[in-house]
Structure 1
Amino acid sequence: MGMLEDAAAGRLNDEMRLVAQAEGKSPEFIRRGIASGRIVIPISPYRETRPVGIGKGLRTKVNASIGTSSDIVDVDMEVEKARVAESAGADTLMELSTGGDLREIRRRVIEVTSLSVGSVPLYQAFIEAIRKHGAGVDMTEDELFRAVDEQARMGTNFMAIHTGINRICLERLKAQGGRFGGLCSRGGAFMIAWMLHNEKENPLYSEFDYLLEILKEHEVTLSLGNGMRAGAIHDSTDRAQIQELVINAELADRAQAAGVQTIVEGPGHIPVDEIEANIRIMKRMTDERPFYMLGPLVTDIAPGYDHIVAAIGASLSSAYGADFICYVTPAEHLALPTPEDVREGVIAARIAAYIGDMIKLGRRDRDLEMGRARRDLLWDMQFHLALDPQRARQIRAEREPADSRVCTMCGDYCALKIIKSSINLSK
């Protein structure tokens, strides 16, 4: 029996109990969430992972995406990025390589992490078609579904699959007169190019029942891809994006009925004043299924700092109800990320998710403890409570104060030290 079938039949399993313990919820709360489609726990029968729950009522989770490109194929670096992402606190990992030996890279990455690992099988199928046939648009439907099956057997826990791009979406895109920022989804671009060249419907849509059979057999969680997401804020919440969401919402119902756990992906570039509307529409249309927000980037003019831009958008997204955040690194739109870029991206996204959870879940106890630790100049406690203790310790150690009770920002004139000798403000 699969995860969704267990939950629907009223059965608790080990993964549900472990997630409940990690989240401070009852196992029954987790079971009911899975049965309703509002919580998922991505698993695989082919490898053991640290179970993570994604969905309504749970802590906002952070995904880190890694992978080679056609320009840079350094497998050892990708393995290191996987390790860095996990040590920095990512909840899941997506392996999205497009250069080199795709199977060997995925095998090595999966081997070194205990995190749930996601993929986009369309990448592999399209790129292998280029190598085999000379053009990605010559990919066959069988080659695409074989890539899904193969990656599932390797121990992939969840897959972003571009099911919602169909002929109706293409008509919407044409009818609205194109886009200011083009199409930023690599998978979306691959599939649209294939559809136009072959004059066929997207097989991931037309053969959706067959896709579900493969995913169900291997207990893969389906992440309904957002191929029409905006790559510029002036394209956000346009007709093509909403049309794809309508289709994915319908497909999510079919996946649930087939016993396949489902996540719905959301748009990438959104101005701040549209974030709440996007999440409310998505949650309403999909009956509160887990929402995977890609970013979002809330301005287009900060290359080199897009991890900060995305953190602003992600904190609001989390507060309004997004369940799952895909990190963005400082290298976004510029280059393939390094291990240090990955670390920066994970920490920024974790901060954003935490800020959102302060609102969404009302969790502020840790901030209360930090306030008291700072008031009382308890440095070890401050480091213990910090989201990134290593960085906090490093900065303080590099600029040691003469008086160990304070820091070099204020030194002898530390307000906390001065007032402490005059009045007791403990609360």
Structure 2
Amino acid sequence: MHYTTQMDAARKGIVTDPMRIVARKEKMDAEALRESIAAGKVIIPANKNHTNLDPEGVGQGLRTKINVNLGISKDCCNVDLEMDKVRLALDLKAEAIMDLSCYGKTREFRRKLVALSPAMIGTVPIYDAVGFYEKNIKDLTVDEIFEVVERHCEDGVDFLTIHAGLNRQTAEKINSRNRITNIVSRGGSLMFTWMQMNDRENPFYEYFDRLLEICQHFGVSLSLGDGCRPGCLNDATDACQVEELITLGELTLRAWEKNVQVMIEGPGHMAMGEIKGNMMMEKRLCHGAPFYVLGPVVTDVAPGYDHITSAIGGAIAAANGADFLCYVTPAEHLRLPDRDDMKEGIIATRIAAHAADIAKGIPGARDWDNAMSRARAALDWETMLDLAMDPEKPRRYRESSTPEHEDSCTMCGKMCAVRNMNRVLSGKDIQLND
């Protein structure tokens, strides 16, 4: 039976190969997964032109996935360096990579990325449009904007971030100047600028059906962007953010009518006490569609450490229903991240995702931790290091400070609680002073 998208197949009762792969990874029944996809609660971003994709599911009841941002810009346009970052992201088991390229040979880089990566690929086409046509944002035509969208889909991109919810009605609330940071979304600011300077409606909102036809043709998923996400704690959960979210919920239903898979993007900067309520609000207003969050960053005063502030927020968000975490690096708000920044950001985000999966009771999530605990109880250092999320760093620490006794470390030495409990429970004598 013919189908266009994973949602179309699911609604026709077809269990596709990507569904079988995801069901196996998630340790769940393929038919149950199909039902969740049919209902829009789970998506499998899978462009028919991404031929080497190793598919992943995003949504209710599945492991929390993470995304890594990279790409070439005018100030940092080294394609080889960005490809090295791609390989690092894949080595560190990121499930998705977003190409945010906005300068130079973007298509060349994008095609290399799709060809190399088994992880799902996302892009923000409006970033690319300005550089591709070498025009000011106000001079882009509607047709040119949609031509870039179609080009990204042709190249094999699995999901697109589209800021369709920032319409003229919501833009009026931005003009009221009640925010400290106005719009901090790059894509949102570009669409706002285009609307203001042309005195027209957001083309992605006005011609949303045209966008859906393109996505349907290639099997591409929509990541409905949060152009009004809060850029500081003060702006969180305000009228701009909530009104855009309501619009995204309406667009979600329109996308589902065309069998186009959707996830919703969310905040942003937000105090910890607001995160749970925001997760509940998104799921309610957007009909249970998967939720993709940037952070949330839980304090505004830690530049250089925002991989930590966002991991705190990401863990809370995912434990309360967020399905997909976008990594944040120590370089956030400061510069384009380098390779080391990327690694710190990926590991911090993976910690947040895994901690949330344990809290949510995702099948098998605790197995890894239990294996580590058994190795620790046995003082089996090699197994502990092998099981570590990032084996390289703890191995380096271990080797940098050699203990007197191999079954201890230089923190406690012979006073190691685990070592002494193992010895006394097995009937051995404990000698601490010799």
Structure 1: how far apart are the matches of 2:20 and 2:381? 35
TM-score, normalization: structure 2? 0.94
Q: Which runs of 5+ in 2 are unaligned?
A: 428-434
Structure 1 Cα separation of the partners of residues 202 and 131 of structure 2:
17
Q: In 1, are the aligned partners of 2:188 and 2:227 still within 8 Å (CA)?
A: yes
Structure-2 separation of matches of 1:41 and 1:171:
35
CA shift, 1:404, in A, is: 1.4
- Counterpart residue identity of residue 147, structure 1: V
User: 2:360 & 2:263 partners in 1: Cα distance?
Assistant: 19
Q: Residues of 2 paired with 1:110 and 1:59: CA distance?
A: 23
- State the shift of 1:231 in Å: 0.8
Distance in 2 (alpha carbons) for counterparts of 1:339 and 1:152: 28
CA-CA distance at 1:403 after TM superposition: 1.6
Task: Give how far 1:189 is off.
Answer: 0.6
Match of 2:142 in 1: 141
1:165 aligns with 2:169: no
- The one-letter code matched in structure 1 to 2:96 is T
Query: Structure 2 counterpart of 1:193, which letter?
Result: T
Offset of 1:102 from its aligned partner? 1.4
**Structure 1 residue 45 corresponds to structure 2 residue 27:** no
Per-residue CA deviations over 1:299-350 (Å, capped at 9, x if unaligned) read 0111111001100000001100100000001110001011121111111100
Residue 37 of structure 1: how far off its partner (Å): 0.2
Per mean C-alpha deviation after superposition, the further-off stretch among 398-407 and 19-28 is 398-407
Paired position in structure 2 for 1:221: 221
Residue 27 of structure 1 corresponds to: 30
Whether the 8 Å contact between 1:383 and 1:389 is mirrored in structure 2 is yes
Q: Deviations over 1:372-402 (max 9, x none)?
A: 2212101122123321222222221222223
TM-score by length of 1: 0.96
- Partners of 1:243 and 1:424 in 2: how far apart? 65
1:225-374 alignment, distance < 5 Å? 225-361=225-361, 363-374=365-376
Shift of 1:192: 0.5
In 2: Cα distance, 1:220 partner to 1:294 partner: 21
Question: Within 2, Cα distance between the matches of 1:126 and 1:165?
Answer: 19
Q: Residues of 2 paired with 1:231 and 1:26: CA distance? A: 40
Higher mean C-alpha deviation, range 247-256 or range 106-115:
106-115
Match of 1:120 in 2: 124
SS in 2 for 1:421: helix
Per-residue deviation at 1:235? 0.5
Question: Any conservation in 2 of the 1:127–1:136 contact (CA below 8 Å)?
Answer: no
Task: Specify the SS of the correspondent of 1:298.
Answer: coil
Residue pair 1:307, 1:329 contacting (<8 A) in 2 also: yes
Instruction: Give, in angstroms, the shift of residue 174 of structure 1.
Output: 2.7
Deviations 1:241-294 (A, max 9, x none): 111100010000110110101111111111100000110000011121100011
Determine the structure 1 residue equivalent to 2:108.
104
5+ unaligned residues in a row in structure 1: which ranges? Answer: none
Q: CA, structure 1 residues 249+424, in 2 after alignment: closer, same or farther (shift >3 Å)?
A: farther
Q: Distance in 1 between matches of 2:274 and 2:45?
A: 29
CA RMSD of the aligned region, Å? 1.3
Asked whether the equivalents of residues 383 and 393 of structure 1 are also in contact (C-alpha less than 8 Å), the reply is: yes
Name the residue aligned to 1:77.
81
Q: Which amino acid aligns with 2:90?
A: E
* SS of structure 1 residue aligned to 2:28: coil
TM-fit CA distance, 1:424 = 5.4
Q: Is the 1:42–1:158 Cα contact (8 Å) retained in structure 2?
A: yes
Distance 1:390 1:298 in 2: 29
Partner of 1:14: 17
CA contact (8 A) 2:174 2:182 kept: no
> For structure 1, which segment, 241-250 or 397-406, has the greater mean C-alpha deviation from structure 2 after superposition?
397-406
CA contact (8 A) 2:231 2:269 kept: yes
